[in-house]
Structures are given as C-alpha cells and as structure tokens.
Amino acid sequence: MKKFSDFADIKALEGEKLRLDDVLNKPVIITGQRITASRYSKNESGKYLTLQFHFPDDDEIKILFTGSDVLISQIEDYKEEIPFEAIIKKINRYYTLT
C-alpha cells in the first residue's frame, strides 16, 4: 500500500508563527519556503510567502507570512540556496533580504 508521503508534493511548513516586524534586523537561518496565490491580493504579484526559519542561537523553528513582492522575488530567485542566513530589513516601504 502506498503512503501519501511517498507521492505527495505538499510539504507542510511548521513552526511558531511570528510577525515580520518581530524578525526585522535580526539574523535568521531560512530553512524552507512556500509561495502560493493569495486570496487577498493587495500586492502586485497576487502571491504570498510562507517563510520557515530559526534564529542562529536557537534551533526552534518559526514561520512568518508576508505578501512582500520583493521578498517573494528574492526567495523565488534563490530558493535553491536554502538553507542560508540572512537579515530581513525594511527600507522605506518595502522589505528585503540582506
């Protein structure tokens, strides 16, 4: 008998949910991501990002949700590099990885 996990391409991202503002200007280790269509498309792309991470000094997994088009674009471009360390910064009206 097949197991669902043998053929399903859906990977649940688990972890304690944090707000994006709680993570700003702190180093994080990004461990997973998922980009999907948003039901509330307030951004240009109509997508939202679920980002899984932990802080370098703590292995407890966290997640955050964002519709930031800049973060979505950066994760789409560099998802093959995961896991990696980054800092999320707010520059004027947008968020970016540095």
In a domain, residue 18? The reply is yes
In a domain, residue 30? The reply is yes
In a domain, residue 3? The reply is no
How many independent structural domains does the chain possess?
1
- Taking residues 15-36, what's their average pLDDT? 95
In a domain, residue 8? The reply is no
In a domain, residue 37? The reply is yes
Gyration radius of the chain over CA positions: 14
In a domain, residue 6? The reply is no
In a domain, residue 5? The reply is no
In a domain, residue 69? The reply is yes
Over 70: is that where the pLDDT of 58 sits?
A: yes
Q: How confident is the model at residue 13 (pLDDT cuts 50, 70, 90)?
A: confident
Q: Minimum mean pLDDT among 1-15, 42-56, 58-72: which range?
A: 1-15
Over 70: is that where the pLDDT of 14 sits?
A: yes
Over 70: is that where the pLDDT of 10 sits?
A: no
Q: How confident is the model at residue 3 (pLDDT cuts 50, 70, 90)?
A: confident
Q: Which residues does 19 contact at the CB level (< 8 Å), separation at least 6?
A: 64
Residue 8 sits at the vertex; the CA angle it makes with 7 and 9, to the nearest 5 degrees, is 115
Q: Which domain holds residue 91?
A: 13-97
Mean residue pLDDT of the chain comes to 91
